[in-house]
Every structure is written in C-alpha cells, then in structure tokens.
Chain A
Amino acid sequence: MSVLPESKVGIVGWGSYFPIYRLSMEEIEKEWGFPNGTGNGLGMKEKAVAYIDEDATTMGYEAARNAIARSEIDPKKIGAVFFGTESKPYAVKPSATILAEALGITPDTMASDLEFACRAGSEGMRASIGLVSSGMIGYALAVGSDTAQANPGDILEFTASSGASAFVIGPSREAAAVFEASYSYVTDTPDFWRRGLSPYPLHGEAFTGEPAYFDHIINAVKGLLEKTGLRASDFDYAVFHQPNGKFPLKVGERLGFPKDKVIPGLLTPFVGNTYNGSALSGLSNLLDIAKAGSRILLAPFGSGAGSDAYSIIVTDKAEVKRSLAPTVSYYLKRKVNITYSEYAKFRRLIKKIGGD
C-alpha cells in the first residue's frame, strides 16, 4: 500500500457525552399500543433522553470538552470546528461558533455546521484529516451530536435518542489512534428525510435497509479494503452506524466481521441511536478500552445516502489519555429512568400557550 495522507494524522483526543435520562422500550410500547417486546425486537433496551435545557449544541460542547482534555492541547491551536448534526437548535446560525467560543477556540479558526443525516460528523472527520494532513491547520475538532427527533408513535421513536461524540484530529505522532486509510461512498438515495418546517423526519420503511444502510456501508468498506489490500480478518474491531441493535451485526456478518468484533462498539441497545453520535460514540468507547496495536474499522452511514470507511490503529498513547476525561462507560452507568410523559415534556412534545 502506498503512503496515504491519512497516515500523517490521528485522533489526539476523543470524548463523548450522554444525558442521564433513559426511556425504556416498555414505556413507548404502553403509550402507543405496540406489542410487548417490539423494542427488544429492534435489539433495544432503553434510550438516552436529553433534558429540557440540553440540545445538540450543549451535548456537543460536553463531548468536545472531554476530547480537548484528552488532547492536552491549548484550544487556541484548533484551526477548524466541524459540527455535524441533524437537530440544529437554529435553522440559520452556526452552532459551531457557539462551541468554538465557549471552548476557547475563537477567533482564529474555521467553523461550520455540516448536515448529512447521521453522517455529517464523519464527513467533518474526513475533512479534518485533509486539512491537518495538508498542513493547512495544526488541529481540527470534529463533533457529531443529535437530539434525534421521531414522530410520536412511529417505530423510529424506539431508537431516536440523544448523545454526542467529538474528536480532536492532529499529527499522528501525538495521536491515541492513527488513521491508516479512508474511503467514502455516496449516492442520491432518499431513504430518510425531513423537510424544512417539518418537526419530524419521515422514512421509506423497509427502503432504509437494503438500498440505503446495507448497500452504502458494504460498498464503503469494500472500497477501503480494495484501497488498502486489508481483509476483514485484519481488524480487531468493527464499528458501523447503529440505527438499531441489529443492523450493525447483520452488516458485519455480511462483510465477514464476527459478532465479537462488533459488540464492543455497539452502544445502541443502551442509549439508542444518537444519529451523528452513533458510530462515532462506538469508536469513542473502543478508544476507552482497546489495546495498543488494535486495528479498528469505522463505518458511519448517513441517509440520503452515504457511508465512510476508516481504518484506525490504536497507539500506546490511548491508555495514558483515557483517565483525562470521563469514559463512555461512565455516562452509560450514570442514569435514571423516566416516564413517557416526562420524556414528552423534556423533548418538547407537549406544546403550551406562551411556552417555548
């Protein structure tokens, strides 16, 4: 394999955030008259719910703060902030500038919000690799964060949840994990969308599976393997986009990754599908636990549709950096269950006169 620009760059800091509230599958089943076990059938146990005063920006901040703590760099050295979300608090006004200001990165920086359903944060990561490897900037911050919406009573409500992950991308000599190669695969496939003023997304039911999720991830991963000459058996872990608890295991099986390589990065059963935080949080969890030398396949997916595949190798710096911020497992353990009515209030499904 020739030397790719990716190899100059790595993850120098990583961090995640999940809110403390959890909604059980039974609460949704009871509320909307689904048969008992519908949520478990999707591979789900419970989902994380953001509080009233939380949104994609506040969660993105928390994840980014953890990533910067692990990077051990002065935030002023960050030259780009990419905020990937599909639940922007503002339709027009960047959240990336709020993050950059609150994290002490402004004003000498690029900053923008990216949108590509669940894949925007990953696009931010790949753009960061390009900017850092070219020498244009020293470090970049790529964030994926969502308070995912679902039409109440829709099957999507079982999984759509809240959470965020963030990565400081920098020179490979400082990295906890280095990039080996990356590959993107994008087509115009309308499997899931939300129109301008619509509060909830719609989806093409079964159409979200084969022509969208499976086709794009499989082609992105195959593209990466062809580019690098690597085989599935060369990887110790595989993290795919996690719209439910089952798809990642299925796509892994089709690509030749056994369950035991997929399960360590599979968080959806415990927190739900955090959209832009989904596959990236799986990676974050692996950086919390993987041994130096482990090779990780990362393949996020976004509806509309596209997938990126990355090969990432963990270095000996990961272990030292782990204790510098709370781990994914910390956030998974710190939780409290809520009722459907609390969930409805927290996520503003209840509309009041004079309310906001």
Chain B
Amino acid sequence: MERLSISKFWRIRKLHYTLAYSKCKKCGYAFYPPKHVCPKCGSSDLEQRTPPREGKLISWTKLYEVPFYFEDQKPIYIGLINLGEVNVMAQIVDVLSEDELREGAEMEMVFRRVKQDGTAGLIYYGMKFRPAHRSGSSKQGQ
C-alpha cells in the first residue's frame, strides 16, 4: 500500500475541488496549476481564479498503461480541456461512445474519487470531466 501524503493533498484541496488557477496581475498570463511566481515574467503579484465548470475538448488520448490507482478503470481517457483562460489535463469519464470525444465537444466537471490509500487509508477526491449534452446546465463557477 502506498502512503499518500495527507498534508500535501490537504494544503491544495481547493485546487482539487475547483481547479482554481493563477493569473499574473503584471503580464496577464493565466496558468494551471497555480504557482507562487509567474512562469512568464517572474512576478509574484498573482490572483487565484476559479474557472467555469464547463469547457471545450481540445484533444484526447486513451491509455491502456495506467498508474496503479487507475488499474480497475483501464483503458482510461485523458483529455486536454479549455476552461476559458486556462487549459487543464484530466481524466474523462462516462464516455458512452468515442464519437462524443470530437474536438470542440462540450465537457463538464464532475466530482469523483481520484485515489485511495488502500482499504484503510484516505480517499482523495477531485475533479474529472464528462461529455456534457444538455442545455440549461449551471454555467457558474464557485
């Protein structure tokens, strides 16, 4: 059993729960995951922003060789998703058919288990994505 770091996860739980990103107040560069210093201009004058819950698929791939905590889910889909100012890479779940994974397809965040530390350790939750097929869904972030 792997011992995952409790404190490491806990410190950035809001990032896992909302995919919050940083935006540089000096040069305007937005990046995920957030850092203490802007990777473009070196400024530490940054603000944290919450992305919308829905985005567009840029590209995807299918993995048959996966980290051990995805072993029971393989093959898994990994997508690059545009969430306005930033792009994030995440697992895509609830794919009924690969036709749903065309470029530009609407994706929405879903809250799922990401890892768990054996049968007795902690469960780590975070955001994944699924194809969104509806109108009138919530567009607001938190």
Cα A32 to Cα B19 in complex, Å, equals: 44
Stretch of B25-33, B77-85, B113-121 that contacts chain A: B113-121
Question: Is B134 an interface residue, CB under 8 A from the partner?
Answer: yes
Q: Which partner residue on chain B sits nearest A322 by CB separation?
A: B136
What string of 1s and 0s marks CB contacts (under 8 Å) between B98-140 and chain A?
A: 0000000000001111101011000101001000011111101
| In the complex, chain A residues whose CB is within 8 Å of the CB of B133 | 334
Q: Number of contacts between A and B (CB, 8 Å)? A: 68
Question: Which chain B residues in 55-85 approach chain A with CB under 8 Å?
Answer: 69, 71-73
Cα A98 to Cα B119 in complex, Å, equals: 19
Question: Is B142 an interface residue, CB under 8 A from the partner?
Answer: yes
Question: Which chain A residues in 106-149 approach chain B with CB under 8 Å?
Answer: none
Q: In the complex, are the beta carbons of A20 and B94 less than 8 A apart?
A: yes
Q: Given the interface contacts A66-B138, A356-B116, does A101 sit within 8 Å of B73 by beta carbon? A: no
Q: Which partner residue on chain A sits nearest B127 by CB separation?
A: A102
In this complex, the interface size class of chain A, counting residues with CB under 8 Å from chain B, is 20 to 34
| In the complex, chain B residues whose CB is within 8 Å of the CB of A51 | 93-94
Question: Is A57 an interface residue, CB under 8 A from the partner?
Answer: yes
Q: In the complex, are the beta carbons of B142 and A53 less than 8 A apart?
A: no
Q: In the complex, are the beta carbons of B96 and A336 less than 8 A apart?
A: yes
| In the complex, chain A residues whose CB is within 8 Å of the CB of B17 | 101-102
How far in angstroms is the closest Cβ of chain B from A327?
A: 9
What string of 1s and 0s marks CB contacts (under 8 Å) between B26-55 and chain A?
A: 000000000000000000000000000000
Cα A316 to Cα B40 in complex, Å, equals: 52
Cα A163 to Cα B138 in complex, Å, equals: 20
Q: In the complex, are the beta carbons of A58 and B136 less than 8 A apart?
A: no
Q: Given the interface contacts A103-B142, A326-B137, does A62 sit within 8 Å of B125 by beta carbon? A: no
Q: In the complex, are the beta carbons of A54 and B113 less than 8 A apart?
A: yes
| In the complex, chain B residues whose CB is within 8 Å of the CB of A35 | none
Q: In the complex, are the beta carbons of B94 and A52 less than 8 A apart?
A: no
Q: In the complex, are the beta carbons of B96 and A53 less than 8 A apart?
A: no
Q: Given the interface contacts A20-B96, A90-B123, does A54 sit within 8 Å of B112 by beta carbon? A: yes
Q: Select the residue from A20, A53, A57, A69 with max chain B CB neighbours within 10 A.
A: A53
How far in angstroms is the closest Cβ of chain A from B65?
A: 17
Q: In the complex, are the beta carbons of B110 and A62 less than 8 A apart?
A: yes
Q: In the complex, are the beta carbons of A102 and B111 less than 8 A apart?
A: yes
Q: Select the residue from B112, B133, B140 with max chain A CB neighbours within 10 A.
A: B112
What string of 1s and 0s marks CB contacts (under 8 Å) between A327-356 and chain B?
A: 000100010100000000100000000011
How far in angstroms is the closest Cβ of chain B from A139?
A: 15
Q: In the complex, are the beta carbons of B125 and A102 less than 8 A apart?
A: yes
Q: In the complex, are the beta carbons of A75 and B142 less than 8 A apart?
A: yes
Question: Which chain A residues in 234-275 approach chain B with CB under 8 Å?
Answer: none
Top 3 A-B residue pairs of the complex, sorted by shortest distance between their CB atoms: A69-B138, A323-B136, A104-B142
Interface residues of A (CB under 8 A from B): 20, 51-55, 57-58, 61-62, 65-66, 69, 75, 89-90, 98, 101-104, 322-326, 330, 334, 336, 345, 355-356
Jot down 24 A-B pairs with beta carbons below 8 A, ordered by A: A20-B96, A51-B94, A52-B73, A53-B93, A53-B112, A54-B113, A55-B113, A58-B111, A62-B111, A66-B138, A69-B138, A89-B123, A101-B13, A102-B18, A102-B111, A103-B142, A104-B18, A104-B142, A324-B136, A325-B138, A326-B134, A334-B133, A336-B96, A355-B71
